[in-house]
Amino acid sequence: MIVPLVTGASFAFWMLMPVMILGALGTILARKPVHSALSLAAVMVSLAVQYAAQQAPFLFAVQIIVYTGAILMLFLFVMMIVGVDTSESLVETIKGQRVLAILAALGFFILLIFAVGNALVGRPTGLAQANNANGGNVQGLAALIFGRYVVAFEATSALLITAALGAMVLAHRERTRKKKTQAELVTERLRKYAETGAHPGALPPPGVYARHNAVDTPALLANGEIAEVSVSSTLRQRGSVQNPADLIAPTKQTVQAIAPDRAENPATAVASYVPHPATPARGIQPELEPGESEEEN
């Protein structure tokens, strides 16, 4: 009895198939888009290994360089930099999109049935025979793309170029008004400040404290209140902002040791004990020079 040996392609298939299935489920079921993108990357890398095991080096290189290394990583970096904490809208912005989606799914399912039927009914050609017909795997792909399917290839290229140009046209916006100068911007900000009280300067940065210093730490205003605008709105939506009570408590403890009667408002207490550089400290008379009176000073 002859026992067939396990080939490298079979070993790669049975080893990576569970990884691909778990990655596909993670892509669909993950709550965060970043986790979905990472799961999809695992599926693509496993698929590239399958191509390599099937002696298809061109597809292996394209799968790694183009899909995994370029397109998917670009999506991943954009999601991590821009942020993805936005609520999904269930309102249809395009009428009839559900019907179109159902029709597209049915069409894809019919094509899948024809593809599987052709593979089962027709007589398949071995990989070695297909590669030897044109002198190799890459040569065979070139003969098919630029020979039998050259019209479909050129039509797809034209479609992709048209889509790229359309995206550029939609993203480009013509300037409808003259760009304001720096002086005009300053004048407008000061006018809004006089009319509505809007702050004319930059927003306060995150808090800087002795115990904690990070972008998720809100700054304290002069009256001891929390400046909510000092923290990014993305961090506020994620709930990653530090609790202001934990930041004010050490300040109150310090002021309690210095001035017990001012512990309820740490900012006022600290400000009262910090003298202005151009004026003497509160409650302390300046030293007079010999022969100088208090009125002359």
Per DSSP, what are the bridge partners of residue 227?
219
Cα–Cα distances in angstroms (integers) from residue 64 to residues 21, 55, 57, 67, in the given order: 19, 15, 11, 6
As given in the structure block, the two tokens for residue 115 are 């593809």
Half-sphere exposure in the Cβ direction for 206 (13 Å, CA)? 15
Q: What percent of the chain has pLDDT over 70?
A: 70
Per DSSP, what are the bridge partners of residue 208?
213
The larger pLDDT score, comparing residue 9 to residue 293, is at 9
Straight-line distance from the first to the last Cα atom of the chain, in angstroms, rounded to the nearest whole number: 116
- Taking the C-alpha atoms of residue 251 and residue 112, their distance in angstroms, rounded to an integer, is 68
Count of beta carbons in the 10 Å neighbourhood of residue 67: 17
Of the candidates 141, 129, 126, the one whose C-alpha atom is nearest the C-alpha of residue 57 is 141
- The overall average pLDDT reported for the chain is 75
Angle between helices 8-29 and 33-53 (to 10 degrees): 170
Could you read off the pLDDT of 7-59 as tens digits, one per residue?
A: 777 888 888 999 999 999 998 888 888 888 889 889 999 999 998 888 888 88
All structural domains of the chain:
8-83+122-171 (1.20.120.1200), 203-273 (no CATH)
Could you read off the pLDDT of 218-275 as tens digits, one per residue?
A: 777 767 677 777 888 887 787 777 776 666 666 666 667 766 665 555 455 444 444 4
Q: 155-169, 258-272, 273-287 — which is least confidently predicted?
A: 273-287
- Taking the C-alpha atoms of residue 63 and residue 90, their distance in angstroms, rounded to an integer, is 34
SS3 208: strand
